[in-house]
Amino acid sequence: MLGRTASSLYWMSRYMERAENIARLVDVGYRVSLTPGLSESDRDQWKSTLQAAGVTNDFFAGHDTADLTAIRDYMLFDEDNPSSVLHCLAAARTNARAVRTAITTEMWEALNATWLNYSQIRPSRVSANDLPALLDEIKRSTAEFRGTMLNTILRDDGFSFCQLGVFNERADNTARILDVKYYVLLPRAELVGSNVDLRQWATILRAASAHRSYRHVYRDRYKASNIAEFLILRQEMPRSLAHCYYWINATLGDLEKHYGARYECHDLADSIYSELQRSDMDKVFRQGLHEFLGEFIARNNSLGQSVAQTYNFL
């Protein structure tokens, strides 16, 4: 397989995963903005969304206030924002187009149909009432794409590069969402453990579509340390860091078998995964959640770069 093909498969999958994650983030941000008392001020309402997407500075370079309209336009439709849904879908499609011989017809048609529909939406026609339905539609489309991929693509090296893109992105995103809690929603000392604090944690769970599954694992009410554990260490939670690294590790193992060679990226993934397996929340909180997540994000990034270098992404 051409190095460029591997790169396009990886990025096509990464961008689709990102599009879905942005839709989730906006969904959560919208809930926060609707729920009184959940944020300290108006400005904070959407701050967590921007922060989790890593676009705060860019946004405020061009906008004064983070209100629903500005966020809608910026996060969903702005062509120049590399983290907008529009940009992600366009980039996914461009990558897919470059490697049409490596993806199945169903995958192409799912992605192309999503693009055709979405690119025709006029942002100004999307009112606050329309927003939830639009966000659901985005999630449905990305799910359809992932479904066609899992159902139809040959399980060869191409599939491995797709999987690496998905889980590299997902791990990054979950870590950022969690980090936001401590970075933006930092409560005053007296609020820790209060209803406000817990409602904020609950919105984090919602962003990961985990608010119900949480209860299957932890019978009791929302507890900050459980929620963090759920999203970091619990392998059965499909958006957790542990789950992502289970798959990254397994996928790299497939590539090792396929190509008959093991590289630095294999060792790196292995080390990240085993550390997560050996860890517990006491250790994490001792290090400091924010520090832990910052380090994870950096290592996850390195893993991506190592893969790119190893397999000659161009």
Residues in the site for other proteins, rule: CB under 8 A?
Answer: 1-4, 6, 94, 97-98, 100-101, 105, 108-109, 112-113, 116, 157, 259, 261, 311-312, 314
- In whole angstroms, how close is the CB of 115 to other proteins at the nearest point? 10
Q: Cα separations (Å) of 155 from 160, 203, 280, 296, 313?
A: 7, 36, 34, 29, 20
- In whole angstroms, how close is the CB of 1 to other proteins at the nearest point? 5
**Which CB, 96 or 185, lies closer to other proteins?**
96
Task: Specify the 3-state DSSP secondary structure of 193.
Answer: coil
Four-point Cα dihedral 207, 169, 11, 47, nearest 10: 50
- In angstroms, rounded to a whole number, what is the distance separating the alpha carbons of residues 29 and 252? 35
- Burial class of 154 by CB neighbour count within 10 A (0 to 12, 13 to 18, 19+): exposed
Task: Specify the 3-state DSSP secondary structure of 39.
Answer: coil
**Which CB, 17 or 157, lies closer to other proteins?**
157
**Which CB, 114 or 173, lies closer to other proteins?**
114
Residue 148 tokens read as: 């066609």
DSSP type of residue 74: I
- In whole angstroms, how close is the CB of 163 to other proteins at the nearest point? 14
Q: Are 55 and 83 in contact (CB under 8 A)?
A: yes
- In whole angstroms, how close is the CB of 71 to other proteins at the nearest point? 28
**Which CB, 26 or 99, lies closer to other proteins?**
99
- In whole angstroms, how close is the CB of 18 to other proteins at the nearest point? 21
- In whole angstroms, how close is the CB of 8 to other proteins at the nearest point? 10
| Nearest CA among 123, 30, 22, 119 for reference residue 75 | 22
**Which CB, 140 or 283, lies closer to other proteins?**
140
The long-range contacts involving 210-214, CB below 8 angstroms and separated by at least 24 positions, are: 210/237, 210/239, 213/237
Question: What is the number of residues in the chain?
Answer: 314
For 260, other C-beta atoms within 10 Å of its C-beta total 7
- In whole angstroms, how close is the CB of 146 to other proteins at the nearest point? 19
**Which CB, 105 or 301, lies closer to other proteins?**
105
**Which CB, 182 or 263, lies closer to other proteins?**
263
